[in-house]
Each structure stands twice: as C-alpha cells, then as structure tokens.
Structure 1
Amino acid sequence: MKDSLKISQKLSPRKYALFTGTLLLTSTGLITRVLGFFYRIFLSRTIGAEGLGLYNMVHPVFGICFALCAGSIQTAISQSVAANVRKGRSIFRTGLVISMSTSFVLAWLIIRFQDFLAGSILMEPRCAPRLTYIAVSVPCAAIHACINGYYYGMQRTRVPAFAQVIEQSVRIGAVFLIADIMLEAGIEITVQLAVAGHLIGEIASTLYTVAACQFFPPKLPDGTYAKDTDSDGRRFSAAADSFRRTAPSLMTLALPLMGNRLILNILSSAEAIWIPGSLNRFGLSSSEAFSIYGVLTGMALPANVKV
C-alpha cells in the first residue's frame, strides 16, 4: 500500500494511469492463461484428443473473421481515441458501425457456405455444424472489441481487463455445468460442447462490456462524461457527417494491422488443415490424424495457446 502511494506521488496522473493499467492487464492476462491451461486439461478429458483436434481446426476460422472485422479496428479505435479524447465517442461509433457491418457479412457467409468451407477448405465435413457457433460469435466479438478499444483509448483499462476474466470464467463455468448435466443424463460429450462454450464466453463478455459502456462510460480528463451535442433533431445527419469525417483516418490505421493479423491467422488455418491432412495421407485414419493433432495443439502446448 505504501509502495503504491509512493509510486502515485512520483508519477504524473497520466503515467500513473499507464502504470496501473499495464499492471491490471498483465494480471488479468495471467489469470486467463492459467484458467485456460486447466480448461484445456478438462477438455482433453471430456471430448478427447480427436475432439480437441476438430475444435482447433474450426477455431482459426474465428481468428480470420476477428482479424477482418474487430482486432485491427479495436487497435485503431484505441489509437485514435487516445489522440483525441474529445472526439472519442464519435470515433468509437464509427469503428463500431464498420466492425458490426463487416461482422454480420462474415457471419452470414460462414452460415451460408458452411458445408463448402468444411468439406472443401477445412477438408473435414464434420466441422460444418460447428461453424454455425463460430459465425454467431463473430458479431459478439466485434462489439466487445470496439468497446474495449474505446476504453483503452480513454486509459480506462478496468472494463477490458475484467471482460477477459469474465469471458474465460463464464466459458469454463458453463462448459463444466453443461458437461455435468450431460454426464448425469447419459449424453455423449462431443466437440459441440467446446464450440458452445466459446460462444457463451463471447456473449458474456459482450453483455458485460455493453452494460459497462451504458452505465459506467469512461470519463474525460477533466472528470466529465462525453455527451452527444446533436440534440436539435439533426442527430442522424450529424452522426452521418461524423462517420464520413472519422472513417477514412480510422481505416488508414486499421488496414495495415488487418493485413498483418489476417496473414498470421491464414497461416494458422493452413497449419490446422495441413497437419491432419498430411497424417491422413501417410496412412493414418481421419480419427487418428485428428487425435494426434489434438494432442499436439490441445495437450502438448496448452500453456502457449489462448483458448
């Protein structure tokens, strides 16, 4: 306590906020990693190595969609808001509109072409039903990513930090509860449980960040809250003008980041497709190939991969 007081006295308010925010995000990141570690162990014992292999094959599809509609825009919102906090709400709304529009298109494409994606791209028809869960989770991820970016830009890291813990905790708790109910009912547990848990976690994080943004919006440096000034009946046209002004600069920041994230996730997806396919070509059955891939990605490396 005394050390914290000494630090606060030595640092300026801006540097102190950066210090405490970094410490909070580091702590919550470690907590979510530890929870994810034990979650992987639980999944390996319930859905098995083959189930983990199937889950790790469909999950990169979510990564690609997140890179296109949320991840890069979150960073762009954060940087733009930090540069001009007075226009933070306008920048946030612009990023949210772009992100949500893109996410709904991607979700529709996944659902519409899930059989093609599973059979011709992922090379595993059993992935098709799981892609629906991934598709529904994409708009949820877009919402809370944009809200988190807004809070990061305003140097208010508590909401994004707690959102990580809530997402992971609710996901794990829901999967534990569903698995227990299924075991008591004598229902076989499959990879469907893992993708359902992923969706539940995204929904929980979205509900939390939306509620926080609604009831506890970030304050401006002077301690006041940002307010909409267009209350003269021209709110829609004012919002449209604001969108046209802020969208180009926001996308200028987002596009290079999007390209980088997209390449990394495409390579991850290629690995998920190539390894089981190669094992299958060298004589292993499909079940054996996915079991080995599940052991590699879900059991051997659980501490390095975020669930």
Structure 2
Amino acid sequence: MPVFLKQMALRTSAIFIVKVMGALVRIPLFRLLGAEGVGLYQMAYSFYGLILTMITAGFPTALFLMTAKDTRRGKNLVMMMLVCLAVIGGGAGYLSYAFAPAIALFMGDQNLTIPIQYIAPALFIVPLLHLVRGYLQGIESYGFIASSEVLEQLVRVCTMLGLATTWAIHGKVWAVSGAVFGAFTGAVCALLFLLIPLRMSLRVVDGERLRQTISMSLPIFLYSSVAILATRLIVPVSEFLDALIIPHRLQDGGMSADQAIAAFGEISGMAVTAVYFPTIITAAISHTLSAKITEDWKNKKNKAFVRRSCLALQLAWGLGMVSTLFLFFYAHDVSVLLFGKEEVEYAIRYLCAIPLLTGLREVTTTILWAQEREREPVKGLLFGSICSVVLAYLLIAIPGFGYEGTVISMLSLECVSVLWNIGQIKKSHNRIFLFMPALWEACHILVIGIGCFWILGTINEMFFNTLPVSFQEIEKMVLFYGGLASYMGLRFVRRNRLTLFF
C-alpha cells in the first residue's frame, strides 16, 4: 500500500474516532443543556476560539512547513516557540479569567461570565499542544499525533459529561461551565503524552547550531506565521461576530432574548455539528497531503504536484457530494436521532452543502500553502467573511426570515472562499480541478443518490415496516451513506488505479 494511503488511513481513523466521540457526547450534552444552554456554550467557545487563534497565530502550521523542508531547523525552532507560547498563553488565560465579567457584558449576556472563566485555563495549554503537533507532523510522526488526539478527546468527553451532569443541579450556567472546562483537561493529558516523542526527537539538538539556525530561520518563520495567522484568524473572527450579531438581530426581528439564544444554539451548535461531521475524511486528506505536495513543490516535481492535487480535489468533491445528498435526504432523521428536536431539520437541510464546500476549501488552501502563496486563502476568507457579516446584519432582522438569513450568511463565507481559492489555483495550474469533469461527476452522484434513496425507501416499506421506527431510519441512513460512499470510492480507485499516489 502506498505510504500516502497508510498515513491518510491513520489520520482518517483518528479523526473519525475523535469526531464520533465528539458527536456522541453532544447528543446527551445538548439534551442536557437545551437550546439556550447550547447557545451559551457556542458563544463562550466563539470567544475562546478567537483568542486561541490569536495566541497560536500560524506558528504550528509554519513550524510544520519548515520542519517538512528542513528537520534540523524545525527541531531548533520548536524549543524557542514553546517558551514564547507558554508566556503568551499564560498571560491571555489570566486576563480572560480576570476580565470575564466585562467580556460577558460586551457579548451581551452576563451568564457567560462563569463559562469564560472555566475555559480560560485552556488558553495556556492548548497553544503548546498545537505547536508540538505541528512539529511532529513535520517529521511525519502521525501515530503519536493520532493517539494524542484520541486521548485528548476521551478525557475531554469524560470531563464534559461528568461535570455538566454533576453541576446541572446548580443551573444551566454551571452545566455549560463544566462542559467547556473539558478543553483544558483534555489538552493537559494530550500534551503530557506528546512530551515523550518530543523529547526523543530533540535530544540531539546542538546549542551552537540552535543559535545559528534561529537567527537564519526566524524572519522566514515569523513571516509565514503571520500570513497563516491571517488565514486562521478570519474564521474565528467571523464566528465571534456571528455570536455578537445573530442573537441581537434575531431579537430585532421579533424574538425574545431567550428565543434568540436558543435559535442561535440550534443553528450554530446543533445543525453545524451535524453538517461538519462528514468533513473528517477531507480533513485527513488535507492533513496528510500537505507534507507530500510541499515536498513535491520544493523539489520542482510539477507532475507529481498536479497529480496529488487533482486526486485530493477529486476525493473532496466526490465525498462532499455524497455527504450533501445524505444530509439533504435525511435531515429530519438526523435532527431527531441526534438532538431530539425536529426544528433542527430545516437548518440541517439548508446547510447540507457545507461538507462539499468545506472539504474543497481545506484542500485548496493546503495546495496554495504548499505553493507558498499563503496570502491567497486569506483574501478569499476575508471576502467571504465580509459578505457573511453584511448578509447576516441585513437579512436576519427581517421578521420570519431569521433562520434563512443566518444560513445564507454562513454559506456565503464558504462559497466565496472556495471560488476564490479555485480561481487562484487555476491561474498557475489550469489542469487542476477541471470544471466539466467535476460537473459530470456531480450529475452522476446525484442520479445514483436519488436512485439509492428511492430504492431504500421502497425496500424498507416492503420488508422492514414492522421494525421500530428508529431502527428503520438508522438502517436506511447507514445503507445510503455507506453504499454510496463505497461506490464512489471504488469508482475513484478504478479511474485512477492508485498509482498516482506514489
């Protein structure tokens, strides 16, 4: 089996386990917190995500890219950056804890004070964890990364459920606080685990070479970090603005404060959790592809670079279409089975294109980064974020159009950024992502998907109508997604014969 496929399988397995654990814990958690509690949870996490991104900047990704190109430079830089991030993260965590009441007031709900205080310690640990993972990715130590991700999620899930359930007797705010504290406990355990491979890798670092390498590499490293920070920062800023704008504009449209936070929780918490779940495979593709195509670009292997990029986009496109059809057809079943709320069905169906758009955005961003064109994804996300914020402000306050306006604003960010990235890639390599073959493949998947949906529905009515309704729905969803994804996978293998991965 090609090395690329082995690494992708490892990363996909780890990400799948993490995503499944995260999705499973959110079922009882969201039922425990309710729509309003989920809204508070999402608002607290939007603040945390913004500050975390500002602290870590683009350091982990820049370190990974530099380590992939020159392992010695990566070894030397990771030591210095660990100290820097420890100081910055510790300061940010302390300030967030101390000024939590003011932050909650700024975000429009004093109930956020305690959740922000309980998520503040994670701002010290999580940046260090991300940096270590970035270095280990550069030396292609995917086994340790995958194990740490599973460990982190396991501890996080146990903490979230344990504290949220225990503290729920004190009120919804304390239940939310217990849930967000899991980010800290999970990161601590994962970081302690990764200190073993990190120490093994760094034990041969030479002090004199350390100083020379830092002086030579630091300007390039910082420039790349800032460029990547701009890319990473736009999405958390957009999510933070959503947390500020959407609840207030829903109230302007006629909802009460509790109804607005509950609606925000249904869309940004429950529906978004469901629609982003299928992106696990494209995330793994992007993660493992990045080292390979960076090496191809550096060594001027243009043919290999184009082949790998085309294959990654083919996978993202095909699997994204399968996931989109699944969410569109089974939105009602997903909303009831996962969250026990039929109202979430409409948000899931409206957002069903997210797996396709997000997968393409992740892969195209990786391709542009490998070409050392870090500014281009920044521009696309910036234009998309501006479009999203403007549409959110204009549409959400229209009476009776709050759900639709929120969804349109979220989709606009992904659409604009994907179109921009593809346009920039085609300027340098016109053979990457050919429109007509992609359109033909989409039509093919659509026809097969509609046929599978009709056939499964007919068979279920004829042979399984006596079984419990929940079992029937799960059976149809598993057969639909598993069958269609397997068919597309076999079709992909047959078309490309996998030799292009070498």
Confirm or deny a common fold (TM above 0.5): yes
Distance 2:167 2:110 in 1: 25
Residue from 154, 167, 172 that aligns with 2:152 = 167
In the alignment, does 2:13 pair up with 1:21?
no
Return the alpha-carbon distance in structure 1 between the equivalents of residues 260 and 229 of structure 2. Answer: 32
Q: What corresponds to 2:183 in structure 1? A: 198
The answer to whether the 8 Å contact 2:11/2:146 transfers is: yes
Counterpart check, 1:282 vs 2:217: no
Partner residue in 2 for 1:303: 274
Instruction: Tell whether the 8 Å contact from 1:94 to 1:247 is kept in structure 2 after alignment.
Output: no
More displaced 10-residue stretch of structure 1: 254-263 or 205-214: 205-214
Distance (whole Å) between structure 2 residues aligned to residue 188 and residue 68 of structure 1: 32
The equivalent position to 1:30 in structure 2, one of 3, 8, 16, is 16
Structure number with the bigger relative contact order (C-alpha 8 A, sep ≥ 6) is: 1
Q: 2:222 aligns with which of 227, 248, 251?
A: 251
Residues 20-52 of structure 1: per-residue CA shift (max 9 Å, x gap): 222211221122112211122111111111111
Look up the match of 1:4.
Answer: none
TM-score normalised over the length of structure 1: 0.81
- TM alignment of 1:264-275, pairs within 5 A: 264-275=235-246
For residue 3 of structure 1, what is the aligned residue in structure 2? Answer: none
Provide, for residues 70-91 of structure 1, a one-character-per-residue CA deviation record: whole Å limited to 9, x for no partner: 2511001111111111233202
Q: Secondary structure at the match of 1:302?
A: helix
Cα pair distance change 1:203/1:158, threshold 3 Å: same
Alignment match of 2:117 (pick from 132, 135, 143): 132
Q: 1:210 aligns with which of 170, 195, 220?
A: 195
Partners in 2 of 1:53 and 1:257 — Cα distance?
Answer: 29
Q: Would you say 1:87 and 2:58 are equivalent positions?
A: no
Residues 60, 130 of structure 2: 8 Å contact kept = yes
Equivalent-residue separation in structure 2 for 1:60 and 1:28 (angstroms): 25
* CA distance, structure 1, for counterparts of residue 151 and residue 103 of structure 2: 31
Alignment-derived partner of residue 433 in structure 2: none
CA distance in 1: counterparts of 2:144 and 2:252, whole angstroms: 47
The letter for the 1-side match of 2:6 is: T
Give the Cα–Cα distance (whole angstroms) in 2 for the partners of residues 173 and 262 of structure 1.
Answer: 29
Counterpart of 2:96 in structure 1 is 110
Q: Is the 2:73–2:217 Cα contact (8 Å) retained in structure 1?
A: no
The alpha carbon displacement at 1:226 in A equals 4.9
Q: Counterpart of 1:70?
A: 56
- The answer to whether the Cα contact below 8 Å between 2:159 and 2:179 also exists between their aligned partners in 1 is no
List runs of 5+ in structure 2 lacking aligned partners: 278-502
* Residue of structure 2 in register with 1:222 after alignment: none
d(CA) in 2 for partners of 1:212, 1:50 = 42
1:294–1:255 Cα change, 3 Å: same
The match for 1:294 among 265, 284, 292 is 265
**Matching residue of 1:154:** 139
User: How far did residue 179 of structure 1 move?
Assistant: 4.5
Corresponding residue for 2:453? none
Unpaired runs of 5+ in structure 1? 1-6, 219-224
Q: Given the superposition, is the C-alpha separation of residues 301 and 197 from structure 1 closer, same or farther in structure 2, using an over 3 Å criterion?
A: same
Q: Within the alignment, does 1:48 sit opposite 2:19 as a pair? A: no
Q: Distance in 2 between matches of 1:272 and 1:175?
A: 22
What code does the residue aligned with 1:163 have? S
Count of aligned positions: 275
CA RMSD of aligned residues (A): 2.4
Cα distance in 2 for residues equivalent to 1:106 and 1:182: 26
- Conserved in 1, the CA contact under 8 Å of 2:73 and 2:213? no
Q: Say if 2:57 and 2:226, in contact at 8 Å, map to a contact too.
A: no
TM-score by length of 2: 0.51
> Is the Cα–Cα contact under 8 Å of residues 55 and 88 in structure 2 kept in the other structure?
yes
Distance 1:182-1:149 versus aligned 2 partners, 3 A rule: same
Q: Structure 1 residues 180 and 63, CA, compared in 2 at 3 Å: closer, same or farther?
A: closer
Percent same amino acid among aligned pairs?
A: 23
Change (3 A) 1:304 1:206: farther
Greater shift in the superposed pair: 171-180 or 160-169? 171-180
Q: Deviations over 1:163-219 (max 9, x none)?
A: 211111111122333345557xx55452112112222222222222224423xx34x
Distance (Å, rounded) in 2 between the aligned partners of 1:288 and 1:24? 43
Q: How far off its partner does 1:69 sit?
A: 2.2
Q: Is the 8 A contact 2:62 2:224 kept in 1?
A: yes
Distance, in Å, in 2 between the alignment partners of 1:133 and 1:187 is: 15
- Bigger share in helix: 2
Matched, 1:227 2:204: yes
The amino acid that maps onto 1:227 is: V
The answer (yes or no) to whether the contact 1:71–1:145 under 8 Å persists in 2 is no
Q: CA deviation at 1:151?
A: 0.6
* Letter of the structure 2 residue corresponding to residue 250 of structure 1: F
Looking at structure 1, the residues matched to 216 and 163 of structure 2 have their Cα atoms a distance apart, in angstroms, of 47
Tell me if the contact between 1:89 and 1:226 (Cα under 8 Å) persists in the aligned partners. no
Matched residue SS, 2:205? coil
Q: Is 1:261 equivalent to 2:247 in the alignment? A: no
